């Protein structure tokens, strides 16, 4: 397959994918952030999805990094991997996707293929992105419904959708080890796209029957996890009122072979905490009110405030004046051993404690200090000394970075310890979810 690939968006999804393709094809990585391009050209990836050796490996393979559109003009396949966040009203924010489509449209040529990997609602590729590509390029979109009698197929372009399945921070389930769903706008293009991914994805591929099916498959993957976590979060709320330890209940129930091992906690990140809103948006657009999905979202979005309220009650029970109490929050990334702070719900705990008047310090050895300052207005601690625990009235373990397993929580009788993740010894914590 003599193709040249442009990967549009070099974040947690795009960069590992571009690295994988660089072993088989000429690849250009495109990103609008000049600082990101310079960083990658220097051989470093701040997301830590690729090691410095892997970045240099991609460069040695001939991969180029650019923010100049003219340098992707000779590519034949464009793979769009930009973020798809939600706005303050929890509606899909398609701005990055639309701008990426405009960029690709400016260099699109007859016969080119545009593959979207960004998580979207069913129908988004053909209803939102394709019209932009057509308008900017002046070319026609060719699908199975295309009337070839009106114009030669050489005057049009094709599309596909292959949902990303990157798990940030996971060094075991990397891009080539996760089965890839593929689809295309015509049977021939679907086969071509599938073969393209199959050439680098060792876990294999699954060809969906249509772009819309592939879009729907992706968005329900994380909605399903969200609902399952919401169930155990609600269980945690019930167990708390009953005076029962939630994790002990789950461990007992887990002795049954088909019990699903979900755990309560904060649900953040760019996938589980966001993707369900893309599905509910589309459902409501077509006149269906998605009760279960939205109920799960409400429960999970409320857990940070619930944790903060529990910490405050524990501080009161131990005789502390809440206003002015010093509280240390360990971790602000959305998951363990990963620098990704996008949509971290730890911020809900921090803001609620601050609203009560607590003086909150935050320590996270994985998070980028400047990024946290810019995103949340928080100055991270630069380190912890040996006697750090004795200076705080409360400590909240929010993220289980491996460094936290080495900490000595030498606290006094009056210090509140709340373990959101349920990993500390039960004897040294006051409460856990």
Half-sphere exposure of residue 422: CA atoms within 13 angstroms, side-chain side: 16
**Number of residues that make up the chain:** 433
Three-state secondary structure call for residue 156: strand
Structure tokens at 394: 């409360």
Nearest to 268 by CA among 159, 368, 168: 168
Helix axes 211-242, 246-253, angle to 10 degrees: 120
Task: Report helix, strand or coil for 360.
Answer: strand
Question: For 85-119, b where at least 16 C-beta lie within 10 A, e where not — what string?
Answer: bbeeeeebbbebbeebbebbbebbeeebbbbbbbb
Count Cβ atoms below 10 Å from residue 378 Cβ, excluding itself.
21
Return d(Cα 102, Cα 396) in angstroms, integer: 45
Among candidate residues 271, 338, 358, 428, the one labeled active-site is 271
Classify the phi-psi angles of 313: left when phi > 0, otherwise alpha if psi is within -120 to 50, otherwise beta.
alpha
**Pairing of the two strands 27-30 and 113-116:** unpaired
Contacts of 242 (CB under 8 A, 6+ apart): none
Smallest Cα–Cα separation from 306: which of 250, 280, 267?
267
**271: annotated active-site residue:** yes
- CA–CA distance, 278 with 269 (Å, rounded to integer): 15
Q: Residues with catalytic annotation?
A: 271
């Amino acid at each position: 397959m003599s193709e040249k690939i442009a990967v549009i968006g070099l974040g947690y999804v795009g960069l590992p994918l571009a690295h994988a393709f660089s072993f088989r094809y000429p690849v250009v990585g495109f990103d609008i952030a000049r600082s990101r391009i310079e960083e990658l050209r220097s051989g470093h990836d701040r997301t830590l999805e690729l090691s410095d050796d892997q970045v240099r490996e991609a460069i040695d393979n001939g991969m180029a990094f650019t923010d100049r559109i003219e340098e992707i003009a000779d590519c034949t396949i464009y793979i769009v991997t930009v973020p798809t966040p939600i706005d303050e009203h929890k509606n899909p924010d398609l701005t990055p996707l639309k701008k990426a489509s405009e960029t690709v449209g400016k260099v699109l040529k007859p016969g080119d293929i545009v593959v979207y990997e960004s998580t979207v609602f069913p129908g988004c590729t053909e209803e939102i992105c394709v019209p932009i590509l057509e308008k900017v390029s002046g070319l026609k979109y060719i699908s199975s419904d295309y009337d070839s009698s009106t114009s030669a197929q050489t005057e049009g372009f094709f599309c596909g959708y292959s949902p990303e399945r990157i798990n940030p921070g996971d060094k075991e389930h990397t891009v080539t080890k996760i089965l890839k769903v593929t689809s295309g706008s015509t049977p021939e293009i679907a086969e071509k796209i599938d073969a393209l991914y199959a050439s680098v994805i060792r876990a294999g591929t699954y060809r969906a029957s249509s772009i819309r099916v592939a879009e729907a498959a992706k968005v329900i993957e994380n909605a399903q996890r969200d609902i399952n976590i919401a169930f155990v979060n609600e269980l945690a709320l019930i167990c708390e009122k009953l005076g029962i330890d939630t994790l002990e209940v789950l461990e007992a129930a887990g002795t049954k072979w088909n019990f699903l091992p979900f755990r309560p906690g904060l649900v953040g990140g760019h996938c589980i905490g966001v993707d369900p809103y893309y599905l509910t948006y589309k459902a409501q657009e077509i006149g269906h009110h998605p009760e279960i999905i939205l109920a799960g979202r409400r429960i999970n979005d409320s857990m940070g405030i619930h944790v903060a309220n529990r910490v405050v009650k524990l501080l009161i029970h131990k005789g502390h004046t809440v206003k002015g109490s010093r509280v240390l929050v360990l971790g602000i990334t959305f998951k363990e051993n990963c620098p990704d702070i996008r949509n971290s719900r730890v911020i809900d705990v921090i803001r609620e404690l601050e609203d009560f008047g607590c003086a909150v310090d935050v320590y996270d050895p994985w998070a980028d200090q400047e990024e946290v300052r810019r995103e949340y207005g928080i100055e991270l601690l630069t380190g912890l000394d040996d006697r750090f625990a004795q200076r705080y009235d409360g400590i909240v373990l929010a993220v289980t970075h491996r460094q936290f397993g080495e900490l000595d929580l030498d606290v006094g009788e009056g210090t509140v310890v709340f373990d959101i993740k349920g990993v500390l010894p039960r004897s040294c914590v006051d409460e856990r979810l």
